[in-house]
Amino acid sequence: MKKESLEQRVRAIKGSLPPHVLLVAAAKTRSAAEVQTAVASGIVAVGYNYIQEAEAMRQTLKEWEMQETSRRLQWHLIGHLQRNKAKRAVELFDMIETIDSLRIAEAVDRRCADIGKVMPVLIEINSGRESNKTGAPPDELISLVRQIAELKHIEIQGLMTMGPRFGDPEEARPYFRLTKKLFDQLIKENVPHTEMRFLSMGMSNSYEQAIEEGANVVRIGTRLFGARNEA
């Protein structure tokens, strides 16, 4: 098999996505050079799981970001947020995709109030109802959204889910479907101060199924950058 370059992979995947789908490059463990190449090849949003890694990368890329990217790069938090990291999170990120409790939402809201920011957030759903996973329980979603929507410095803009991991991505469809159903239900509920625009689901092995089931944000790492070396 001929090895494609990062640039070729970014262009190929971007080119294959329907135009309404936002590609978030899941950039954990990647070097600054890789992130720069991805952005130069058309990536407009990067996703980070950890505050510290994102902070270091933003620092490294600061000068370059100012010079190179005519349209500012969007930084998404896609990993679980701890309350004691809320302050740095609201400074670093343009969107937090992983709000899953009122407590964490309140912490983000308070920190945003301190700096006069309104943070776009997605509510993360534990669509597989897995006991060891993050995300709000599907059955509590609507009441959770109603409570978080009251917070003045947060704007709910959609839903995110990981779903259980399968070797065969076809098996992920029921979890994507459930999340889409909840998304549609929330659109109908028309909760004040919410704007249900983004449905973030699907990763390297499942993004095609996710898009077929209604995703308009996909978070892709391995298929763009190659296998991770997670030692």
- Rounded Cα distance, 208 and 67, in Å: 34
Instruction: Work out the burial of residue 134: count CB atoms within 10 Å of its CB; fewer than 13 is exposed, 13-18 middle, 19 or more buried.
Output: middle
> Residue 158 or residue 221: which is nearer to ligand PLP going by CB?
221
Backbone angles phi, psi at 219, to 5 degrees: -115, 110
User: Could you write out the DSSP letters of every residue in 63-103?
Assistant: HHHHHH-SSPPEEEE-S---GGGHHHHHHH-SEEEEE-SHH
Nearer to ligand PLP, 138 or 221 (CB): 221
Q: Which is nearer to ligand PLP, 78 or 151 (CB)?
A: 78
Kindly tell me which residue out of 99, 121, 203, 210 binds ligand PLP, with binding defined by CB under 6 A. 203
Residues 57-96 that bind ligand PLP (CB under 6 A): 78-79
Helix (H) or strand (E) holding 47: strand 45-48
Query: What tokens appear for 210 in the block?
Result: 């996710």
Under the binding rule (CB under 6 A), the answer on residue 45 touching ligand PLP is no
Min dist CB 148 to ligand PLP, Å, is: 20
List the end-to-end C-alpha distance of the chain, in Å, as a whole number: 26
37 is a site residue for ligand PLP (CB under 6 A): no
Query: Among residues 180 and 219, whose Cβ is nearest to ligand PLP?
Result: 219
Distance CA 149, CA 194 (A): 6
Distance in Å, CB of 84 to ligand PLP, minimum: 20
Please tell me whether residue 220 binds ligand PLP under the rule CB under 6 A. yes
Question: Least distance in Å: CB of 160 to ligand PLP?
Answer: 8
Q: List residues binding ligand PLP (CB under 6 A).
A: 26, 28, 49, 78-79, 162, 203-204, 219-223
